[in-house]
Amino acid sequence: MDIGGYLGKILRVDLSRRKTSIEELSEPFIKKWVGGVGFGARYLYEEVPAGVKWSDPENRLIWTTGPLAGSGVYGAGTFNVASKGPLTNLAGSSQANGYFGAYLKFSGFDGIIFQGKASDLVYLLVKEGKAEIRDGRHLAGKDVWETEDALRKELGVKEKDVSVYAIGPSGEHGVLYSAIVGDRGHLAAHNGLGTVMGSKNLKAVVAYRGKRNFQIKHPDLLKEKNEALFEHAKGFGPFYQWGTGGGFSALYGIGCLPVRNYTTNIFPEHERMNGQYMRTHFEIRPMPCYMCRIAHVKEVTVTEGPYKGFVGEEPEYEQLAAWGPQIGNTDLGAVVMLTREVDRLGLDCNEASWTIGWVMECYEKGILSQKDLDGLDMRWGNVEGVRTLLNKIARREGIGDLLAEGVMRASKKIGGQAEDCAIYTMKGCTPRSHDHRGGRWAELFDTCVTNTSTLEATWAGVHTQLVDLPVVSDPFSHEEVSTMNAKFNGIRQFDDCLGTCRIASTNPKLQLECVNAVTGWELSLEDAFQIGRRVVNQLRVFNFRHGMKKEDERPSKRYGSIPVDGPAQNKNIMEKWDWMLENYYTLMGWDPKTGKPLPETLRKLGLEDLIKDL
C-alpha cells in the first residue's frame, strides 16, 4: 500500500463459525474514513441495519486503529471500539489507550470486526498477520486482572510482550454498562461496549508486540512535528506535572465537581483529594502508555488512612470525582481502592458512580430502605458499602440485578421521586464525572446531542482557539455555547480516527502535520474538519435509522436542573434549550425541527448514499 501508516488489512472474526478471514482496505476507503471511529462508523452503518438489536449476534463489535498508532508519535497506542450499545440502543464509540493500538498494527491489522456469537467462552490471539480463536472457558468468572495474569502465564510471555483487553464478571453477566479493560487499567467504557463483547462470548483479545511493519512517508518531518506536539502537550493544562487530577480543585472553583448527586456544589475537602495532594503524599511509580513522554499514567501506593499500603493505578480526574465527592467520600485512599475495584470488575466508572450516587440519595431520603438494598447501609461516604454493591452489580446479585440496568432504567422502575433524582440523558447514557451545570454547559449540551454516546464535539471544553475560532467568553451563554459547539464539532472526531491519546496530542494543527508526515497526504485543517463532520453525520444517520428522536436530545430533570449553591447558583440551561437545539441543528446543516441531516449536507460530505435512508 502506497499510503504511510497503514497495513491495509482488516481482520474479520466470525465467532459463530469460529473462523477468521482477512479483507483488504482500498485506498479510497482509507482516505475517506482515515481510521478509528471513521472506520467504525462506516462498517457499523453498512453491517448493522435497523432491527438488529445490540445483543443480536449480527451486531458488530469493531476495534480499529489509525495512521498514527505505532508510528512513533508519543502516546500513540490508542484504538477505537464501535458498536450498537445497550444503554442507548444507538451507536457507541470509545477509545482506550495503553499498548493495544500499536500492537494490533504490529500484528498485521488496522482493525478487527467481530460478528456472531461463540457457543462457549473464547479469546482471540493475534500475532504476525495471523489470528486464532482459542477456548476461554477456563477464564470464566475471572476479573480483568486475573484474566491478564492467566493469559500471560498460559502464553509464557512477559508483561509488555502482549497487550490484553478483556471483560470482567460484569461483561459476562450482561451488566449494561460493562467496559472493555486492558493493559492494567485502560478502558473502552461508554455505552456498554463490554456488554456487547460478553454477549458474543468473547472474553479477551491478545495482540503481540512486534516491529513497525508499515512505512512512514516523511520520517524526519515526523520527528520534528512529534517533538513540537510533545512540547505543546507538556504545557497544556496540569497533566504533565499532576495528571488529570491536577484540575480537580480548579473544577471545584467553577462549580464543576459532582457533589452528592448534584444536591450541592459545596465540597471543602477538595484540596485533600486532588492530583497535587496525591502526588506529594502518596508513593508514585510511572506506568506510561506506549512510547508516551507525557507519562501521566502512574501506579500509586496509599500512604495514609484506612487503606494505607493499598496499590492501584492512580485515579484519573473522573475517578477522583466519581468515587470522591459524587458518593460523599473524603478519603483519597478509598478512591484508589474503588477505582481498582471498578476496573477489575469491568464496569464503566461514570455510569457506576451515577448509579451509586442515585442509590445513596434515595437511601438518605427514604425512597430506598436498607431492606430494599439487601441489608446494605448506603449512607453517603460508606465506601465499603459501595464496594459490596459494585460486586453485587457486576454479578447481578440481589438489588444488583436492577442496578445493572443503569441509572435511567433503575430510576424508572422505582418511579416517582426516585426518577427525579437520576442523572442521565434521555437517550439513556450518562455524562462524564462532572457537574456540567457549573461552567461546562458546552459539555452538558454535547452529552445530550452526541452521536457516539459520550462527548463528541468537546473535550475539557471546546478550545476553539486551537483551530482559529473565537473563544467562548461566557460559558453560560445559550447562544455562544450552542454556536461554538457546532463550529468546533468535527475536529475531535477526526482526532478519534488517528490512534492517539488526546492528553499527548493536544494541538490539532501539529497533530495534523504528524498525520501528513506519516501518510504522505497534504490534508488541511479544513479537510480534517470535513472528515470529522463526515463521521458525525454518518453516526447520526445510523442513530435515526435505529430509532433516535429529537425528543431524546435532552437531559433528565436532575441533569438539567438549576444549581442550588456554589459558583453556578441559579444558572438555568433549560431556559432556552429548544432554542439552543434549533440554533445548533441549523449550524450543523440539519433540519432545525427534526435534527436530521439535510440532503445538501450529506452531499457535501460525500454521503449522498445515506439520503434515501432518511
- Mind listing the pLDDT tens digit for each residue in 3-26? 999 999 999 999 999 999 999 999
Among residues of the chain, what percentage have pLDDT more than 70? 100
Residues 76 and 99: beta-carbon distance below 8 Å: no
pLDDT at 461: 80
State the DSSP code for 94: E
Residue 460 pLDDT class (50, 70, 90 cuts) = confident
Owner of C-alpha cell 434521555:
426
Residue 476 pLDDT class (50, 70, 90 cuts) = very high
Query: Which whole number is the average pLDDT over 337-355?
Result: 98
- Give the CA distances from residue 510 to residues 37, 142, 296, 410, in Å, rounded to whole numbers and listed in that order: 20, 42, 20, 45
pLDDT at 271: 97
Residue 2 pLDDT class (50, 70, 90 cuts) = confident
Residue 570 pLDDT class (50, 70, 90 cuts) = very high
Helix (H, G, I), strand (E, B) or coil at 246: helix
Q: How high does pLDDT run on average in the chain? A: 97
* pLDDT tens digits, one per residue of 145-154: 999 999 999 9
Distant-in-sequence, close-in-space partners of 222: CB < 8 Å, separation ≥ 6: 71, 72, 73, 216, 514, 517, 518
Residue 400 pLDDT class (50, 70, 90 cuts) = very high
Q: What is the distance between the terminal CA atoms of the chain, rounded to a whole angstrom?
A: 36
Owner of C-alpha cell 485502560:
186
Query: Which whole number is the average pLDDT over 578-605?
Result: 98
What sign for the dihedral angle of Cα 291, 296, 300, 303?
positive
Count other Cβ atoms within 10 Å, centred on residue 411: 26
Query: Which whole number is the average pLDDT over 102-107?
Result: 98
- Helices and strands per DSSP (H, E), number in the chain: 24, 15
Residue 462 pLDDT class (50, 70, 90 cuts) = confident
Give the sheet arrangement for strand 61-64, strand by strand: 19-24, 9-14, 111-115, 61-64, 79-84, 91-96
* pLDDT tens digits, one per residue of 317-345: 999 999 999 999 999 999 999 999 999 99
pLDDT at 395: 98
Residues 514 and 229: beta-carbon distance below 8 Å: yes
Owner of C-alpha cell 455510569:
351
* pLDDT tens digits, one per residue of 269-284: 999 999 999 999 999 9
Asked if residue 398 has pLDDT above 80, the reply is yes
Query: Which whole number is the average pLDDT over 423-448?
Result: 97
What domains, with CATH codes, occur in the chain? 9-208 (3.60.9.10), 238-420 (1.10.569.10), 441-505+524-613 (1.10.599.10)
Among residues of the chain, what percentage have pLDDT more than 90? 97
Query: Which whole number is the average pLDDT over 523-550?
Result: 98
Residue 357 in grid coordinates: 450516587
pTM above 0.95, yes or no: yes
- Give the CA distances from residue 545 to residues 86, 112, 256, in Å, rounded to whole numbers and listed in that order: 16, 24, 35
Asked if residue 1 has pLDDT above 90, the reply is no
Q: In whole angstroms, what is the distance from residue 248 CA to residue 246 CA?
A: 6
Query: Which whole number is the average pLDDT over 156-170?
Result: 97
pLDDT at 137: 98
Query: Which whole number is the average pLDDT over 410-436?
Result: 97
The one-letter code for the residue type at 191 is: N
Query: Which whole number is the average pLDDT over 361-381?
Result: 98
Residue 338 in grid coordinates: 474503588
Lowest mean pLDDT across 80-84, 115-119, 182-186: 182-186
pLDDT at 355: 98
Asked if residue 610 has pLDDT above 80, the reply is yes
Helix 349-364 crosses helix 332-345 at what angle (to 10 degrees)?
120
